[in-house]
Structure 1
């Protein structure tokens, strides 16, 4: 039986020494378990994605040095083949770097393959830095097994719809016994099932078993969920590694079948993955914990308004970082209800989070007096509402500066879409946890957090109350916006469209079509479209947002600020 170790590691971009340490640890485990090959993710030496670090002076020299160390490290595991990913220099016309896969053994390079399909859609921009590899298949014989290799996107074009080249078809012509694909495939809702369907179809069409090894961990806005898997032409997905955690596991391969350590068929994973809210929950917690760790933060601070958005952000932060490392600050104004302050107290007590109180009534009044004296105009309406938000944002940044906490912004996707937020106020912060959740999803995830905890962490009074910014007397969100279920359907179609899952698209499309059947509904849809376009300038200045859905704000949706939009 040919043994292969899937090294689903959590590398950090640029930390080549740290990434090498993870590789050495996984390789040692593989060698101890009798593996002949250990497979690491795409660009595992540098982490995915280095971006313009690839252009920085000295970066490729550091890659060369780390690669030399990796070669030397393979001598400590005699006979074990290391499959790693790295950016490598190349010669000839075009870009000077390629996204490469290397097979190293006993201090020597046994095989090199350059990624052919370089994605430039959604969050990806690999053609910015890399030159595509030649249209050739690379196969290596180890013992009596012929192994072909692919890198991530190379396996996503088997239907030939997106690129003129199909590396999978070329590899099938070479007739390997097994295909190994190394990947850095970011996670979003539905992505696991999409991978399974696509690669099961490709394996069946080409008659080739395949091993898919993915990265895990958070990197800026992206979260990689791991969930590496094995697929056969006859049975589809027959094995899956753990999700959202590093996992180094050895499996067997013989006669076109994958086997467990005892030589038996492994337990097949369920067709359906996590429920949607459980998925959001795990993805956000991993994304925040890695973002904070990699940026050097141990603690976080959140403005606690007593509303659902800040409550959910506090609960997720407490889970990711530990409640002792999270601070909430409530900043009541003359428009704040006593219930909101009481709800903040109950929330933080349930979470075990410290809550500080910093009233802003007098601060805002002083600003009002100064503004009126200087301009002869009273601060009122939107000016006064935004003033309160900016005072709160300044206090939160003051605390962050004084104590070194990461400030988490609390805006959701619905509000960010239409600009229902204040620049330099509630948009202040270093990371947004729920900025890719529509408001209706925020409520659902809050309930899931309570259910997962087995007790009420987020008080039902917060979940059930009518949303309000509390910046004016009697203010409610519906004074400015349609009900959130209506707004969210309009936004889903506008922002994500056909990227939505089939069921979600059909539901949103049917409801919006019914809305547009009336003049009032058509006018509402047009108004929302204009609000989304008009507020691009706010989103451009907002903190990064953890990506949860197929199309998130940030690098995944690049829109001009100054443009004429056709609705």
Structure 2
């Protein structure tokens, strides 16, 4: 049997558009003599559709498109479709894989394990499927599953999350091959974990495995594609493209032969972080109806990295940098910002904020002298935010916020100032990773794209004379590990201190993180990179009192 895998990039909620894409890939697969073409989890709606699933009209529209647009394809041609979609039955909604063949729905395979952790909340919408049955395609018995249903093997995971393993039931029925329709978002370490699990399952069940993943950016989540095919010996025989659509074919006979070529392990390094950010920016901007972005260029490393990512994602002609020097901006910062813009080939403008800053000081201090306090420092950031939003409104640019995870964690950022924007590109990158990414960008391009002075100089918000980040924060090489243990590993202060950190520093950092929750609740969506990002994957109360 010849199976086509359609690794597509759907737009959430664009049902007709997604259907047309599915039809396009179907025709290509049919022309390629495929017996079956498969699409990823919830490919008709895009994943995750969230509360769109609560609208009965949305579910009905999906059903109509399947009946009127997709089923007729299989009546006219021999190629069958395995489609990831929602499925309504007896007043309940399921996350399912539908096998369409001969103009009808031949079988329905309902997802059993509904993830309800981190960025997932499928129990809010779906009912858990309880029936597991194999599907005979040709003379090959297949186990057809949806995403999470393969992630509960008791021999692989020391602490399985669920009380049942659908694969045990399916392979007990004699399945020789596994198809998994997935929508698995990227985070650091995900590639290695996926490949390790799939190879293990192939060896355990002596079965060929086809794992098809969604590709594309949907809000904070970026789906990297990287679909995988394993033979029954657990050898990787094909890895699909990362971060782009692809149609490829698998001959089922190859799933039971030795691999022709030994595949190297998938990459999970700073290059993948860069690619994830680029796809996340591109899809977020385009899918929200924009084509151009604007950001403030301070001469610092954060805005430099964001500008470089935006340039790669959208092209230099679609990126506008705004230099907004204040009385405290250093000459070298202005030069660094100009050098960056020219290195990247992006447009830039200079809009000094000294005059509006003076006007605010006069208005707000009346007869008093300027206080030179935190409120006046933040005024500068808010003036800059207003300028960016003005240009955005008038010229239809999306504003990109440039703050990193370290700053966002401890609240070293200004509401309605540098936090302004439609997308926070590096909001899940700790400061030390931002430096790593800057070095990578220069190495990748083989030249100094991000000025060396931007990388080498001490980071500073430049909101007061001679200001440095370390005046207010611990050094980033100390701050970032503490934040990792607290935010990603959920360790208590005592547990973090036991790792060798200064107790007073740990307690101070955690107080800052907790107190800044109200800021993060109002922040722009940030692209997920780490195992625990702020936003939908970390839900903390604002008004609280808890002593660890």
Cα distance change on mapping 1:57 and 1:171 into 2, 3 Å: closer
- Give the structure 1 partner of residue 395 of structure 2: 403
Q: Tell me the SS of whatever aligns to 1:86.
A: strand
Length, aligned pairs only: 542
The answer to whether structure 1 residue 149 and structure 2 residue 144 are counterparts is yes
SS in 2 for 1:58: helix
Is it true that 1:344 corresponds to 2:325 in the alignment? no
Please say if 1:3 is aligned against 2:15.
no
Q: How does 1:357-376 map onto structure 2 within 5 Å? A: 357-373=350-366
Post-superposition shift, 1:399? 0.7
3-state secondary structure, aligned to 1:205: helix
Q: Which of residues 110, 117, 120 in structure 1 aligns to 2:113?
A: 117
Cα distance, 1:524 vs structure 2: 0.6
**Take 1:483 and 1:138, find their aligned partners in 2: how far apart are those partners?**
56
Distance 1:455 1:75, change over 3 A: farther
Task: Report deviation, 1:513.
Answer: 4.2
Q: CA deviation at 1:28?
A: 1.8
Contact 2:230 2:255 in 1 (8 A): no
Are 1:489 and 1:511, in contact at CA under 8 Å, matched by a contact in 2?
no
The residue aligned with 2:28 is 29
1:128 to 124, 128, 139: 124
Q: Report the CA distance between 1:222 and its aligned residue.
A: 0.3
Is the partner of 1:148 in helix, strand or coil? Answer: strand
Cross-structure match for 2:281: 288
- Cα deviation for residue 512 of structure 1 reads 5.9
Whether 1:466 and 2:458 are equivalent positions in the alignment is yes
Distance in 1 separating the partners of 2:260 and 2:421 = 45
Q: 2: CA distance between counterparts of 1:418 and 1:557?
A: 15
- CA positional deviation for 1:510: 11
Q: CA deviation at 1:514?
A: 5.4
Matched, 1:522 2:522: no
In the alignment, the residues of structure 2 paired with residue 526 and residue 102 of structure 1 have an alpha-carbon distance, to the nearest angstrom, of 52
Contact 1:239/1:268 (<8 A) preserved:
no
Residue 55 of structure 1 and its aligned partner are, at CA, apart by 1.1
- Cα distance in 2 for partners of 1:278, 1:188 equals 13
| 1:317 pairs with 2:316 | no
| Alignment equivalent of 1:476, drawn from 464, 468, 491 | 468
1:255 deviation in Å?
7.5
The farther-off stretch of 226-235 and 335-344 is: 226-235
TM-superposed deviation, 1:57: 4.5
The equivalent of 2:100 in structure 1 is 104
Alignment partners' CA distance in 2, 1:483 and 1:217: 35
**Corresponding residue for 1:394?**
386
Q: Is the 8 A contact 2:185 2:222 kept in 1?
A: yes
Where 2:489 maps in the other structure, the secondary structure is helix
- Give a deviation string over 1:276-314, Cα, whole Å, max 9, x none: 210111000011101111001110001000000001111
Aligned equivalent of 1:74: 74
Q: Check whether the contact 1:177–1:256 (CA below 8 A) recurs between aligned residues.
A: no
Q: 2:215 matched to which residue of 1?
A: 216
SS of residue in 2 equivalent to 1:445: helix
SS of 1:254's equivalent in the other structure is helix
Moved more, 23-32 or 426-435: 23-32
Per-residue deviation at 1:379?
A: 4.2
Q: 2:179, 2:268 → 1: CA distance?
A: 29
Q: Secondary structure at the residue paired with 2:277? A: helix
Change (3 A) 1:255 1:217: closer
With over 3 angstroms needed to count, the CA separation of the structure-2 counterparts of 1:268 and 1:24, relative to structure 1, is farther
Structure 2: state its 5+ residue gaps.
none
Measured in 2, the distance between the counterparts of 1:498 and 1:532 equals 13
Scaled by the length of structure 2, the TM-score of the pair is 0.96
Number of the residue aligned with 1:158: 153
C-alpha distance in structure 2 between counterparts of 1:255 and 1:394, whole Å? 59
Matched, 1:251 2:250: yes
| Structure 1 residue 498: Cα displacement | 7.4
Match of 1:503 in 2: none
Deviation per CA, 1:154-185: give whole Å up to 9, x if none: 01011171101110111111111211110000
Q: Deviations over 1:520-550 (max 9, x none)?
A: x111101001100110000000000000111
Could you tell me the TM-score, scaled by structure 1's length?
0.92
Q: 1:191 & 1:52 partners in 2: Cα distance? A: 26
Question: Is the CA contact (8 Å cut-off) linking 1:10 and 1:215 kept in structure 2?
Answer: yes
The corresponding residue for 2:194 is: 195
- Whole-angstrom CA distance in 2 between matches of 1:176 and 1:565: 51
Residue number in structure 1 paired with 2:514? 533
User: CA offset at residue 106 of structure 1?
Assistant: 2.4
Q: How far is 1:451 from its partner?
A: 1.2
Shift in Å at residue 439 of structure 1? 0.4
| Runs ≥4 residues deviating over 3 A | 264-268, 376-379, 509-516
Gaps of 5+ in 1: 259-263, 500-508
After superposition, the Cα gap between the structure-2 partners of 1:524 and 1:36, relative to the gap in structure 1 and judged at 3 Å, is same
Q: 1:256 to 1:307 in 2, by over 3 A?
A: closer
